[in-house]
Amino acid sequence: MKKFGLMLLVMSMAAMPLIAGGQQEVDVDPDEIAGTITFGGWPAADEAVEAIIDGFQEEYPNVEVELEMMGAEDHHDRLLTSLAAQAGAPDVAMIESEYIGAFRDRPGFVDLREEPYNAARYEDDFVDYKWQHAQSSDGEVMVGMPWDIGPLSFFYNRRMFEDAGLPSEPDEVYELLSDPDSFLDTARELTIEDEQWAIGNAVDLFYARWANRDWYDFDLSFNFDDEESLEILDLGRVIRDEGLDAQVEQFGDEWTSLIGDARIAIVPNGSWFGGFLKTWVAPDLEGDWGVIEPPLFESTNWGGSFLAIPEQSDNKAAAWAFIEYMLANSRPQNEMFEAIDYFPAYMPAWDDPIYDEPDPYFDGQRTRRLWAEIAEGTEPSMVTPMDIETEDILISRVEAGIDAGESARDIIDEAIEEILSATQTEREALKARLGLD
């Protein structure tokens, strides 16, 4: 309900004219930039900033950075309220990829393509699917700079595969999971009734396919109304029918406990989940986990964030200096990546030797290079102000449908009908903005 309230307020403001920012003349000479800026976001962004702050202050010794960290939902609610009130926003604001469709068309941010920022000169250095999301839907304003991405992969417990008499090397596991029938056979081998399961929840496979939240094509048709989605939903229904999933909520206490106890074998998630495994989900299972590219669908992305400068900032020069240092340089990007597993959207960072280093936690796999390859294969997609509401309706319908044993076709048809009804006003406004009939 909190997300839904946020969407209603965003939609009510969607018709307001875009404000092209950057009109204040800003001197970006490091010797002259001074003062305190606030950085608003959510954990573990504070650890990322701490990892690079010394290097930043070597270049900008007269700038102090104060952190304002809170839960991601609370942060976005506060940011929305501050933009509406034109007061109270941080100088540098994080925007999570889930929310970018709702924020990129609203007023209140500087246009980073304008003088003195000239951020467009970095376009070729960033993954195109995140760069595109940072622009307003009409392409007239650049709201933020991409920070990180989450190349989607399937994490799997090697030891559970071996104990089930299955191969455990990444290329072999990929083959086992690469089509629905083989995936189902493998899931049966991995499951021990009331003791361990192949996957946490049958819904996770469908959600992983659409984790980039690219629900809509550029003509606002539904991307998820396709044969691949129907096939994945049918697979999920059989998994639920046969008791091959633990039926636990992703990121809930029971889910994390089962993973840490080696009772869930397969976890589709963004690359950042590797950091979760190492630090708090399964820190004692070093060497037991492996990673593969998505076996059931093409490369996609899960998560990521952007940094924006609210127009109300009193120190845009220092805010931009911090964003530019933090995101458009390989060294700080990789320092943050090593600190908290935020995979850089800035592609030159991937040339660093650390991307070819074996990862002991994953039994020596070169996971960073794998994630770079997945990122390279991810296609641009559409984000809209309707995304959060669309996701809530769709995933709720999928959960209920799989639980009730409904056909994939019925699940999708019912979800589309409900989404069209719930988003009619916003859909028509967006169609007009995009010049669609």
Ordered mean pLDDT values, 10 residues apiece, the chain (437 residues): 38 37 49 94 96 97 97 97 96 96 94 96 97 93 97 98 98 97 98 98 97 94 97 97 97 97 98 94 98 96 97 97 98 96 97 97 98 95 94 97 96 98 95 88
User: 307 is written with which tokens?
Assistant: 């940094």
What's the token pair of residue 172? 């072999």
* H helix or E strand, kind and range, residue 67: strand 63-69
Q: Which of 113, 100, 94, 112 minimizes the C-alpha distance to 38?
A: 94
Q: Are 114 and 26 in contact (CB under 8 A)?
A: no
Domains and CATH numbers, the chain: 2-150+304-372 (3.40.190.10), 151-301+382-434 (3.40.190.10)
Burial of residue 50, with CB atoms counted within 10 A of its CB: 0-12 exposed, 13-18 middle, 19 or more buried = middle
Measured distance CA(200)–CA(252) in Å, rounded: 10
pLDDT recorded at residue 28: 55
Closest CA to 289 of 320, 306, 267, 308: 267
User: 249, 181 in Cβ contact below 8 A?
Assistant: no
pLDDT on residue 29 = 73
pLDDT, residue 115, reads 94
Cα 395 from Cα 403, distance rounded (Å):
12
pLDDT attached to residue 31? 78
The per-residue pLDDT for 128 is 96
d(C-alpha 231, C-alpha 92), whole Å:
43
Instruction: Give the pLDDT confidence score for residue 267 in this predicted structure.
Output: 98
Q: Residue 3: its pLDDT value, please? A: 41
